[in-house]
Amino acid sequence: MHTQYQDYKDGDLTCEAYIATDENKKGKRPAVLVSHAWGGQSDFERGKAEKLAQLGYVGIAIDLYGKGNRGNSMEENAKLMQPFMDDRAMLRKRILAALSFAKSLPEVDGDKIGAIGFCFGGLCVLDLARSAAAGVQGVVSFHGLFHAPNIGEQKAITAKALILHGYDDPMATPEQMVALAAEMTKASADWQIHAYGNTVHAFTNPEANMPENGIVYCEKADKRSWQAMVNFLAEALA
C-alpha cells in the first residue's frame, strides 16, 4: 500500500489530505473521501482510508479545518466544529473543495466518488449529498448528526445515501431521524437508514467510553455498519 499526505486549497486556506492507494492496481478507480469527526483528521480516519484502499478504492482522509488545526479536548473540538454548524454554506464550500481535489488526482475516476463520515463527518457527507455535486454516487454517515442545512432550496439529491445510526444516540434523536428521512424523501434521494438498538454515539470508535454523555463503542454495531458500507459502496461505485 502507498500512503502520502498532500496539500489542497479552499480559497486561501491550506488543507491536508491523507491518500491511501493499492499500488498494485493500475488505471483510474473510484475514490472514497473520509470526513473526520469533530476533532479533525486523525489516525482513526487515516486508518479508514487505508481500509478503503484495501477494498480497491482510493481512500482520501480529508481535512475540513485546515492543515494543523486539530482538537485535543472536547472544548477544543467544539470550538473547531461550531463555526461549520453555524455556517453550513461554509461547510459545503469546504467539502466541495475536497471533492475537487479528489477529482484532480490522476488515479481517480471523477465520475465515481463516494464519501463516508463519522459524527460531525457524517453530517458533512450528508451535506455533500445535499449539494448534488457531479460525480458523487454514494455517501455513508456513521453515527452522524442530522440537522438540515437550511441554506436555500434543496435540489434533487442524486447520490445514494446510507445512514448508519445508533438508535439511542442522544445527539441524533429518533425525531431527528424521522425528519431526516422525510427530508431525503422530499429530495428524491435513494436513501437507507440502518438503526442499531441499544447503541449510542461514536459506536465505531474503540476509544469511545463516556457513557454519561452517550458516547460508547459497540463492537457489534461497528462490524455490522462497516459490512453495510462495503456492500453499499460496491453497488454505488460499480
HSE toward the beta carbon, residue 225, CA cutoff 13 A: 29
- Kindly report the pTM of this predicted structure: 0.98
At 176 the pLDDT is 97
User: pLDDT for 170-182, tens place per residue?
Assistant: 999 999 999 999 9
Closest-CA residue to 142 (of 18, 22, 233, 210): 233
At 195 the pLDDT is 98
* pLDDT tens series, the chain, 238 aa: 999 999 999 999 999 999 999 999 889 999 999 999 999 999 999 999 999 999 999 999 999 999 999 999 999 999 999 999 999 999 999 999 999 999 999 999 999 999 999 999 999 999 999 999 999 999 999 999 999 999 999 999 999 999 999 999 999 999 999 999 999 999 999 999 999 999 999 999 999 999 999 999 999 999 999 999 999 999 999 9
Cα separation values, 145 from 107, 110, 164, 173, Å: 31, 27, 11, 9
Q: All domains of the chain, ordered by start, with CATH?
A: 2-236 (3.40.50.1820)
Q: Which three cell numbers stand for residue 123?
A: 453530517
